[in-house]
Amino acid sequence: MKSFAAVLRRELAERWLLVLAAALLSLIPLAVPFLPLGISQAPDARAGTAIALAVIVSYVLALVLGSTVLARDLSERRLGFYFSRPLPGWAIWAGKMAAAALLAFGSGVLVLLPAMLLGDRPDPSGSWGWGFGREAGSGLGLALWAMTVLALLLAANAFSTMVRSRSAWLLLDLLAGTVLLGLVGVATGNLLSARALGALAMAQIGLLLAVVFSFAAASAVQVTRARTDPRRGHRLLSLTLWALLGLTALAFGGYGQWVLAVSPEDLVEIGEVIPAPAGDWIAVGGSTGASRGRLEPTFLMDTSSGRSVRIGSQSSVWGGLAFSRDGRHAVWTQMAGRGVLPVTIHRLELGRPGAEPVATPVGFSEDLPHSLVLSPDGRRLACISGQRIIAQELTNGRLLLAAPVLPGETWEQNRLRFLDSRTLRFYATRLQGRAVSEIRVLDFDLDTGRTSREIRMPGRQAIWGISADGQRVLLVSLKGMGPTEIAIADLRSGEPLAGIPAEGAVNGTSFLPDGRVMLVRRSSPARGGRGRIELRLLDDRGAELKRFDLPGHRVRLGGQPAPGLLAVMTTGDPSEKTWRSDLLDLESGALHPIGEGLFPEGWPSLAPGSIGTQLFLQKKGGLVRIDPSGRQRVILHPES
């Protein structure tokens, strides 16, 4: 320590003029408000000038001192002054480096000091604010600044040593530097294109730290092991530096790969689950933990085999994923470049074991597609992109349809459905102002590209449900606070089949797969009470078949894990923290409890027994499948 202090003191003493110069420079910001400069009248002109000057001074000094303090002494063989004296190598290295760092950073701070003492602070919204951002005044900003000074200093020292030694190792340095930069670039690119921004930020801070450490360690090894020999010094510096940086780059690349190689098991939180209409596949998305870069990956997963395929990393994928009706095909959007756009449609044959995702010729570069639907044969894709309904052949990208969505909407709710592989149906709810409203249903013949049918249903109403065959819709009148009217309309005739008096507010309604209609009402709470939940089962013409009272005051309906048994989750807890889950026998109205807080991932219109109807999210986050016998199997078990 004594030796270190001796070297440090000496190195500082030799350059004390720098401190004087910094002190003089610190007066410049004070003069700025009196100078005829454009910026000089800004409220934070003084602070801004001080910061800019301080940063420039410290960086320039870091570069200059870094390239001279050790490297020049070594190449001019002046290190012997220290090495011929009883000073340990580490003390010589540390003393010199510490002196250079102190001088570079200290001069910067000194330049800053008078302005700061006068109470100047950078104003992020002021004239200078754009240049510094929020960190400017904070401890983090200070730490980053110091870190950068250190990094510049060490890097300048290393490069200067390499160049000054004039040995053939310089070629290796260039090569290694290029390779490593390339490696880091590729790894960064991978993380960027996977939108792993959290991981990237973490990895980059780690990278900076590791790079600073590598440079410092290499330089220390050079001084303590090669001492005054410049060639051996360069060799040791290069070997240590590139070994450490190589490890760093590998670690960085490895971290990137590891982050990107997530599987559904790595999710610490399951965000959303989309079941295929048939078969065992689901799409599941969620987020990974902080240690895994806070990714938001999405997977296609075969719940029976556990096989999974990562298909994207953004929640935007939810607008852009579709299964075919038979559950044998899936398509989704995937970013093709660094940005959100363009996207390419990828597909996976779910029915073929071992199939890999393939990019289709279909892509979108101007507007993200949404409302994706896949034809029953899995060969045609329809979606809405921008203000157009687009249908394309997935195999060759041939455009089948590009029709404008209805013009002039101020609010819309559009849906697409393939009636068969040739016919695409477009359901649109149009609202215009307070007065005009209409529902329009258009059929497109994809072989001819023409509109084959158009149905208009005027009146202020919206589509709340579409039957499994796409031919009937549930219409809900929108009359403000008044009693809700629900109607079932047949699209073949275009006429309402039946009106259903709802006697109060309707909380939800849905077709069941067999054509019956489910209606949920929450009766108005009596004074002090919390109301009741009433479930009505109607036939396909709206006639009431059954009426069930459910416990509690809130309900969430699932699908039918087994035909005739509907998953319901209810709570009577005022704070709504505890929920109970049951299977409701649609014949008898009996409730068969299946557990606490099991959140049904399906919905009533799903085909009974399909994968979606049997999936439940546990309260603690696990995804389980409950088969008709009541047996629970854990699909995913996130550990948060």
Partner 1 sequence: MDLVAIEELSVRYGRRLVLDRVSLSVPEGSVYVLLGRNGAGKSSLVRCLLGEQRPGSGRVRLLDGDVWSGRAALLREVGVVPEEPDAPPSMNARQLARFCSGLYPSWDGAGFAARLERFGVPPGLPFGQLSKGQKGQVTLSLALAGSPRLLILDDPTLGLDPVARRAVFDELIVDLADRGTTVFLTSHDLAGVEGIADRVGILRGGRLLVDEEMDTLKQRFRRLRLPTGDGEGLEALEPVSVTTRGWGSEVVVAGWDESFARDDVEVAAMTLEEIFLSLVGQEGAR
What's the CA gap between 237 and 177, in Å, rounded?
A: 13
Q: State which residue, 78 or 121, has the beta carbon closest to partner 1.
A: 78
Q: Does 89 bind partner 1 (CB under 8 A)?
A: yes
Please, which residue, 83 or 130, has the CB nearer to partner 1? 83
Residue 85 interacts with partner 1 (CB under 8 A)?
Answer: yes
Least Cα distance to 365 among 390, 393, 401 occurs for: 390
Q: In terms of CB distance, is 99 or 155 closer to partner 1?
A: 99
| 299 three-state secondary structure | strand
Among 4, 6, 344, 632, binds partner 1 (CB under 8 A): 6
Reading the block at residue 32, the tokens are 């700025």
Check binding of 77 to partner 1 (CB under 8 A).
Answer: yes
Interface pick for partner 1 out of 121, 166, 231, 633 (rule CB under 8 A):
231
Q: Which residues contact 280 (CB under 8 A, 6 or more apart)?
A: 302, 303, 304, 305, 327, 611
Beta-ladder partners of 548: 535
Contact status: 130 vs partner 1 (CB under 8 A): no
Rounded to whole angstroms, how far apart are CA atoms 502 and 538?
A: 12
The interface region with partner 1, picked from 39-47, 86-94, 527-535, 580-588 by CB under 8 A, is 86-94
Looking up tokens 């999710």 gives: 267
CB of 165 to partner 1, least distance (A): 13
- Residue 155 φ/ψ, nearest 5 degrees: -65, -45
Q: Within positions 547 to 566, which residues make up the interface with partner 1, using CB under 8 A?
A: none
Span near partner 1 by CB under 8 A; candidates 221-229, 270-278, 508-516, 545-553: 221-229
Q: How far apart are CA 185 and CA 179, in angstroms?
A: 10
| Shortest Å, Cβ 36 to partner 1 | 40
Distances in whole angstroms, Cα of residue 516 to Cα of each of 410, 472, 519, 539, 557: 33, 11, 10, 5, 15
**Residue closer to partner 1 (CB basis): 85 or 166:** 85
Q: Which of 497, 471, 465, 504 is nearest to 605 (CA)?
A: 465
How many whole angstroms separate alpha carbon 411 and alpha carbon 416? Answer: 17
Subset of 14-43 contacting partner 1 (CB under 8 A): 14
228 lies in the site for partner 1, by CB under 8 A: yes
Q: Which stretch binds partner 1 (CB under 8 A): 82-90, 146-154, 272-280, 362-370?
A: 82-90
> According to the binding rule CB under 8 A, does residue 95 interact with partner 1?
no
Letters for 596-615 (x = contact with partner 1 by CB under 8 A, - = none) are --------------------
Considering only the stretches 224-232, 415-423, 432-440, 550-558, report the one whose residues sit in contact with partner 1 under the rule CB under 8 A.
Answer: 224-232
* Least distance between partner 1 and beta carbon 149 (Å): 24
Which of 34, 38, 84, 366 forms a contact with partner 1 (CB under 8 A)?
84
- Report if residue 456 touches partner 1, rule: CB under 8 A: no
CB of 262 to partner 1, least distance (A): 48
The tokens for 128 are 């200078």
The residues facing 285 across adjacent strands are 272, 298
Q: Residue 585 forms beta bridges with which residues?
A: 565
Range 589-595 contact pairs with CB under 8 angstroms and sequence separation of 24 or more? 589/546, 589/548, 591/550, 591/551, 592/565, 592/630, 594/567, 594/626, 594/630, 595/632
What residues line the site for partner 1 (CB under 8 A)? Answer: 2-3, 6, 10, 13-14, 77-78, 80-81, 83-89, 91, 225-229, 231-232
